[in-house]
């Protein structure tokens, strides 16, 4: 969240862009997936800017003189996390020693304000570290794993300094993110965030709220989330997330969910709900199954849930991720709530009736994408996954020989009636398969790509993006208000 992040916002503005979509911002664990976070509320402290801490006097030039030679275009998570923890520990020590009364009061005020999730998370994270990073069901002290009050009180005393350090790093994350979001908003850029409908089993959320999930007496899931066999996988996707006891949540007025949505809307302006269809029905897999092939569809909370959310929070700026196997009932729920769905242009090339072809969009109330984090890049698809028939269809559709498929997909999204269009940065730069963010069903080797800030100096992609934005009336100052 340092200078490069602000430079990226400036880059968006220079290219007439008014939306920046980000992946979930929570702390990651095994597999590095932002969709398997240690908390639905906490922030990823690896994003904290050390330069900002240096300006505050909590880190020095000497503290940062030993920066390792990290890879430029990928994240080596283990060493990165270790390095960040060392430097944040140093910043915490200096904060305790040197911070003025204003910063100390701001820290205490924030901790009190966020206590409803923060206190569980900081204790959970301290205990997880004390247990060598093992999932909570494998902790040495079963009473701590099962959230027994006496054991937790003793742990709070034993780990008091580590717990306060965890509070401190969370405060830094949220303070720095708030500054960054404020800057983006002042520049006319809205941030689209992401709520994974399910939470990770190894998370503070499940550990501290077992009543909301289908678990056995030891805390292990009895049934888990996923999707049946589809485009991405012949054996389906076995995500492993515990499933909600929706009736229990309903009895408590969906209070936990209200707080969760309220929290994300402090961080972002619009929120994409990942796997939206699970609010209508979801694929329930016995936890004993090794794949997602055997399972059954189970009804979710449907419109009742959203009525409670709206009553508590008002109009919800939500994008419904309605991809995959979608039933008429899911479409009815989406349309009843008047939520925009998603149109992925890379999925469009089967036949003229394909719903993802721009001429088949039935409403402006949708968001078009050249691809998502789960897709190959457009260039990666064109050079590898796409069949000759699909590529011939693309050329027939655009009426010419395709030389730059990524720009053709971006143009099609821009010219569509969709109220919003989003392209992954890889597609703007024309990057190949080696920059793909995630391959669903693949447990390791995902989420590692990053771009170097020097790419922001390349003006040609920026000018082309700006040109198409103006040609198709998507410039933030001239856009037809009927499209929003």
- Collapse the DSSP code of 190 into the 3-class scheme (helix H, G, I; strand E, B; otherwise coil) and give the result: strand
Annotated catalytic residue within 10, 281, 374, 433: 374
DSSP 390-401: HHHHHHHHHTS-
For residue 321, indicate whether it is catalytic: yes
User: What distance in Å separates the CA atoms of residue 87 and residue 83, rounded to the nearest whole number?
Assistant: 6
For residue 274, indicate whether it is catalytic: yes
- Collapse the DSSP code of 409 into the 3-class scheme (helix H, G, I; strand E, B; otherwise coil) and give the result: helix
User: What distance in Å separates the CA atoms of residue 83 and residue 67, rounded to the nearest whole number?
Assistant: 8
Whether residue 382 lies inside any domain: the answer is yes
At 56, the pLDDT band (50, 70, 90 cuts) reads: very high
Quick check: 451 and 429 in contact, CB under 8 A? Answer: yes
Domain of 403? 340-484
User: What distance in Å separates the CA atoms of residue 195 and residue 298, rounded to the nearest whole number?
Assistant: 21
DSSP class of 435: G
pLDDT at res. 441: 75
Q: On the CB side of 120, how many CA atoms lie within 13 Å of its CA?
A: 20
At 272, the pLDDT band (50, 70, 90 cuts) reads: very high
Closest CA to 321 of 258, 369, 358: 369
pLDDT per position as a tens digit, 106-121: 999 999 999 999 999 9
Annotated catalytic residue within 202, 274, 322, 408: 274
At 478, the pLDDT band (50, 70, 90 cuts) reads: low
For the CA atoms of the chain, what is the radius of gyration? 23
For residue 127, give every residue at least 6 positions away whose Cβ sits within 8 Å of its Cβ, in sequence order, or none.
136, 139, 144, 155, 159
Annotated catalytic residue within 114, 120, 321, 427: 321
Whether residue 352 lies inside any domain: the answer is yes
For residue 374, indicate whether it is catalytic: yes
Whether residue 120 lies inside any domain: the answer is no
pLDDT at res. 480: 46
pLDDT at res. 482: 41
Quick check: 454 and 447 in contact, CB under 8 A? Answer: no
Pairing of strands 223-227, 190-196: unpaired
Asked if the model's pLDDT at residue 232 lies above 70, the reply is no
Whether residue 443 lies inside any domain: the answer is yes
pLDDT per position as a tens digit, 167-205: 999 999 999 999 999 999 999 999 999 999 999 999 999
Indicate whether this model's pTM tops 0.85. yes
- How many domains would you assign to the chain? 1
Whether residue 389 lies inside any domain: the answer is yes
**Distance of CA 458 to CAs 81, 367, 428, Å?**
30, 27, 11
Asked if the model's pLDDT at residue 479 lies above 50, the reply is no
Between 104 and 453, residue with greater pLDDT: 104
CA dihedral 202, 207, 213, 219 (to 10 degrees): 80
**449 bridge partner residues:** 74
User: What distance in Å separates the CA atoms of residue 59 and residue 301, rounded to the nearest whole number?
Assistant: 48
Whether residue 217 lies inside any domain: the answer is no
The arithmetic mean of pLDDT across residues 213-229, rounded, is 96
Between 443 and 457, residue with greater pLDDT: 457
User: What distance in Å separates the CA atoms of residue 469 and residue 415, rounded to the nearest whole number?
Assistant: 9
User: What distance in Å separates the CA atoms of residue 167 and residue 171, rounded to the nearest whole number?
Assistant: 6
Q: How far apart, in Å, do the first and last CA atoms of the chain sit?
A: 29
As a whole-number percent, the residues of the chain with pLDDT over 90 amount to: 92
Asked if the model's pLDDT at residue 483 lies above 50, the reply is no
pLDDT per position as a tens digit, 137-154: 999 999 999 999 999 999
pLDDT per position as a tens digit, 402-454: 999 999 999 999 999 999 999 999 999 999 999 999 998 787 889 999 989 88
Closest CA to 24 of 34, 10, 15: 34
pLDDT per position as a tens digit, 321-366: 999 889 999 999 999 999 999 999 999 999 999 999 999 999 999 9
Whether residue 359 lies inside any domain: the answer is yes
Whether residue 463 lies inside any domain: the answer is yes
pLDDT per position as a tens digit, 7-50: 999 999 999 999 999 999 999 988 899 999 999 999 999 999 99
Instruction: Show the beta-strand stretches assigned E in 99-254.
Output: 190-196, 223-227, 237-242
For residue 419, give every residue at least 6 positions away whose Cβ sits within 8 Å of its Cβ, in sequence order, or none.
340, 364, 365, 366, 367, 483, 484
């Amino acid at each position: 969240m340092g200078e490069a992040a602000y430079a990226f916002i400036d880059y968006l503005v220079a290219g007439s862009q008014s939306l920046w979509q980000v992946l979930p911002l929570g702390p990651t664990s095994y597999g590095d997936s932002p969709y398997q976070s240690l908390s639905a509320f906490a922030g990823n402290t690896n994003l904290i800017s050390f330069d900002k801490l240096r300006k505050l006097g909590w880190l020095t030039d000497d503290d940062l003189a030993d920066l390792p030679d990290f890879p430029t275009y990928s994240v080596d998570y283990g060493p990165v996390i270790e390095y960040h923890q060392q430097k944040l520990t140093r910043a915490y020590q200096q904060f305790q020693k040197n911070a003025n009364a204003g910063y100390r009061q701001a820290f205490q005020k924030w901790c009190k304000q966020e206590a409803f999730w923060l206190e569980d998370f900081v204790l959970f994270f301290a205990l997880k570290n004390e247990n060598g990073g093992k999932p909570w069901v494998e902790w040495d002290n079963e009473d701590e794993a099962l959230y027994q009050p006496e054991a937790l009180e003793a742990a709070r005393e034993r780990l008091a300094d580590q717990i306060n350090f965890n509070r401190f790093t969370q405060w830094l994350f949220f303070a720095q993110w708030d500054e960054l979001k404020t800057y983006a908003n002042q520049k006319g850029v809205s941030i689209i965030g992401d709520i994974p409908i399910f939470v990770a089993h190894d998370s503070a959320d499940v550990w501290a709220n077992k009543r909301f999930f289908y678990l056995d007496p030891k805390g292990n899931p009895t049934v888990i989330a996923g999707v049946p066999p589809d485009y991405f996988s012949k054996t389906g996707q076995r995500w492993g997330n515990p499933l909600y006891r929706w009736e229990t949540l309903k009895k408590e007025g969906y209070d936990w969910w209200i707080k969760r949505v309220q929290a994300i809307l402090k961080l972002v302006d619009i929120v994409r709900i990942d796997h939206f269809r699970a609010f209508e029905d979801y694929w329930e897999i016995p936890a004993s199954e090794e794949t997602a092939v055997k399972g059954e569809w189970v009804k979710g909370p449907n419109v009742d849930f959203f009525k409670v959310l709206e009553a508590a929070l008002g109009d919800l700026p939500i994008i419904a991720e309605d991809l995959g196997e979608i039933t008429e009932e899911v479409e009815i729920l989406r349309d009843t709530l008047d939520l925009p769905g998603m149109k992925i242009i890379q999925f469009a090339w089967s036949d003229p009736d394909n719903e993802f072809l721009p001429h088949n969009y039935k409403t402006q109330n949708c968001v078009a994408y050249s691809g998502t984090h789960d897709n190959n890049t457009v260039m990666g698809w064109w050079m590898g996954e796409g069949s000759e028939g699909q590529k011939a269809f693309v050329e027939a559709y655009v009426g010419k020989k395709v030389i730059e498929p990524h720009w053709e997909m971006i143009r099609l999204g821009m010219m569509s009636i969709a109220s919003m269009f989003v392209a992954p940065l890889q597609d703007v730069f024309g990057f190949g398969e080696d920059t793909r963010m995630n391959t669903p069903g693949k447990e390791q080797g995902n989420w590692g790509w990053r771009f170097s800030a020097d790419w922001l100096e390349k003006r040609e992609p920026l000018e082309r993006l700006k040109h198409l934005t103006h040609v198709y009336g998507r410039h933030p100052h001239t856009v037809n208000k009927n499209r929003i």
